[in-house]
């Protein structure tokens, strides 16, 4: 109850201050770090970001000093499942089969708040995983101010080739809910894309490869013309398509078919990543999901042999970095706890990126790749999505573990910096 009261107190207090001037030690504006900068917010917009000497402070402005802190844009999470919770709590099959969409939506409201309080002001949610269009409804309640949470871009049920997705293992007389919507053939694929967009999906997610049988390696699912048809149907409606893909052939079909991001990309090769760069397709590597699953299997980092999947993932990620392909920050959150999105950023650094490049990926690059205008930067006439952390995350990415201040659309949802 105390937390709920505090939340609404902070909300009402922030609404009462139409103008806020943030005065941190440093500002990361989405591309670079600046010392001795201030950021002025009026309503839901940033009106100034730069040296204080060039700003005339409006009367009545609330000044917020942020000593020893870095001010930066709100983080944009590229691969989340707000309707899932960690697999070491309940495995994926049981979440789909035994937890109703109502229960999962209720859980999703908690996940949304935890995500926002961790400094994630926007998420791209990559499929409801058997919960229908509950993600669309979750987004609506956030947008209407009914519950606190990040902006959401939602995929709805996602699309998979008939027979390729689970839960599986039942005889042909048993019907079970599936984690995605199955289709076969060009006509059915087009109709499904249009129906999902009509039901509120912001973009389309497809599974370009998957395991056809238990314990088998992934194989391509859709034929090239099916992928091309779904992309054409989506783009003609002003939307785009992303692809779960981990095999070279699945990735190749998705890239050539016109998707905008590849999710996971575990089996990517130099040739595949080079092709992605040439065609402007970004990679969302979801490092933290693989790390979490390995830990659930008993691996303790730094203790004993590294699992093969972790070694292989490090190698493919290095190939991606060397190719120059755009890297999207996104951890496949839901496999692990919502609000611990920082785990992906820390692994991106561990696997070879600099902290500054990781922060760019999580802000301005994600905003560009996801077509989010006026987000991802601290710049005049951008939306006031702003967070503050102690220390300097461009030097130590673990600073993102302790977010002290969260502002979304000019509303302060978290304030651990003022008495």
Give the model confidence (pLDDT) of 115-156 as tens digits. Answer: 999 999 999 999 999 999 999 999 999 999 999 999 999 999
Q: CA quadruple 401, 203, 364, 147: dihedral positive or negative?
A: negative
Q: What is the pLDDT of residue 6?
A: 44
Q: Give the CATH number of domain 75-369.
A: 3.20.20.140
Q: Is 32 exposed, middle or buried (0-12, 13-18, 19+ CB in 10 A)?
A: exposed
- Angstrom distances, CA of residue 365 to CA of 56, 301, 317, 330: 31, 30, 17, 12
How far is it, in rounded angstroms, from Cα 70 to Cα 66?
8
Q: What is the largest CA-CA distance in the chain?
A: 74
Neighbouring CB atoms inside 10 A of 385's CB total 31
Q: What is the pLDDT of residue 419?
A: 61
How far is it, in rounded angstroms, from Cα 170 to Cα 292?
28
Mean pLDDT of the chain: 94
Domain ranges in the chain are: 2-73+376-415, 75-369
The strand pair at 282-284 and 386-390 is best described as unpaired
Give the model confidence (pLDDT) of 307-327 as tens digits. Answer: 999 999 999 999 999 999 999
Does pLDDT of 303 surpass 90?
A: no
The C-alpha R_g of the chain, in whole angstroms, comes to 21
Does pLDDT of 180 surpass 70?
A: yes
User: Are 348 and 329 spatial neighbours (Cβ–Cβ below 8 Å)?
Assistant: yes
Among residues 104, 98, 95, 99, which one has the least CA distance to residue 138? 104
Entry pTM? 0.94
Q: Given 3-state DSSP classes, what are the helix, strand and coil percentages for the chain, each rounded to the nearest 5?
A: 35, 25, 40
Identify the three-state secondary structure at position 286.
Answer: coil
- The pLDDT of 42-65, averaged and rounded, is 96
pLDDT confidence tier of residue 301, bands split at 50, 70 and 90? confident
User: Are 281 and 337 spatial neighbours (Cβ–Cβ below 8 Å)?
Assistant: no
Q: Which CATH superfamily is domain 2-73+376-415 in?
A: Urease, subunit C, domain 1 (2.30.40.10)
Q: What is the pLDDT of residue 17?
A: 47
How far is it, in rounded angstroms, from Cα 314 to Cα 298?
19
Across 37-119, the runs of DSSP E, i.e. the strands, are 38-42, 45-50, 62-73, 75-80
How far is it, in rounded angstroms, from Cα 132 to Cα 142?
18
Does pLDDT of 281 surpass 60?
A: yes
pLDDT confidence tier of residue 14, bands split at 50, 70 and 90? very low
How far is it, in rounded angstroms, from Cα 232 to Cα 418?
51
φ, ψ (nearest 5 deg) of residue 152: -125, 135
User: Are 196 and 157 spatial neighbours (Cβ–Cβ below 8 Å)?
Assistant: yes
How far is it, in rounded angstroms, from Cα 310 to Cα 266?
10
How far is it, in rounded angstroms, from Cα 287 to Cα 269?
17
pLDDT confidence tier of residue 73, bands split at 50, 70 and 90? very high
């Amino acid at each position: 109850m105390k937390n709920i009261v505090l939340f609404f107190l902070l909300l009402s207090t922030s609404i009462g201050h139409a103008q806020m001037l943030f005065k941190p030690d440093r500002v990361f504006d989405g591309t670079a770090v600046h010392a001795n900068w201030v950021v002025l917010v009026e309503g839901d917009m940033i009106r100034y970001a730069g040296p204080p000497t060039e700003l005339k402070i409006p009367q009545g402005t609330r000044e917020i000093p942020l000593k020893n802190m870095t001010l930066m844009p709100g983080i944009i999470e590229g691969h989340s499942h707000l309707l899932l919770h960690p697999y070491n709590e309940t495995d994926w099959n049981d979440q789909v089969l035994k937890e109703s969409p109502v229960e999962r939506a209720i859980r999703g409201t908690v996940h949304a708040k935890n995500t926002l309080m961790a400094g994630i002001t926007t998420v791209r949610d990559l499929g409801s995983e058997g919960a229908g269009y509950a993600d669309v409804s979750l987004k609506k309640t956030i947008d209407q101010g009914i519950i606190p949470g990040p902006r959401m871009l939602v995929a709805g049920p996602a699309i998979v080739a008939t027979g390729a997705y689970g839960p599986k293992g039942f005889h042909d007389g048993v019907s079970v809910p599936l984690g995605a919507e199955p289709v076969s053939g060009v006509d059915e694929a087009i109709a499904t894309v249009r129906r999902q967009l009509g039901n509120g999906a912001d973009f389309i997610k497809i599974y370009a490869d998957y395991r056809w049988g238990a314990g088998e390696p992934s194989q391509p699912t859709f034929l090239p013309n099916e992928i091309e048809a779904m992309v054409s149907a989506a783009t003609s409606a002003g939307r785009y398509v992303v692809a779960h893909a981990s095999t070279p052939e699945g990735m190749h079909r998705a890239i050539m078919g016109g998707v905008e991001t590849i999710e996971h990309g575990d089996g990517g090769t130099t040739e595949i990543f080079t092709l992605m760069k040439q065609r402007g397709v970004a990679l969302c590597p979801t490092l933290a999901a693989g790390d979490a699953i390995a830990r659930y299997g008993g691996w303790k980092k730094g203790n004993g042999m590294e699992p093969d999947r972790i070694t292989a993932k490090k190698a493919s990620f290095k190939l991606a970095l060397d190719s120059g392909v755009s890297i999207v920050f996104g951890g496949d959150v839901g496999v692990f706890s919502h609000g611990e999105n920082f785990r992906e950023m820390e692994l991106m650094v561990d696997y070879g990126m600099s902290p500054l490049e990781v922060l760019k990926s999580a802000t301005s690059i994600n905003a560009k790749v996801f077509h989010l205008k006026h987000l991802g930067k601290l710049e005049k006439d951008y939306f006031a999505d702003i967070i503050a952390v102690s220390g300097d995350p461009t030097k130590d990415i673990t600073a993102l573990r302790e977010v002290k201040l969260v502002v979304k659309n000019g509303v302060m949802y978290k304030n651990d910096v003022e008495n």
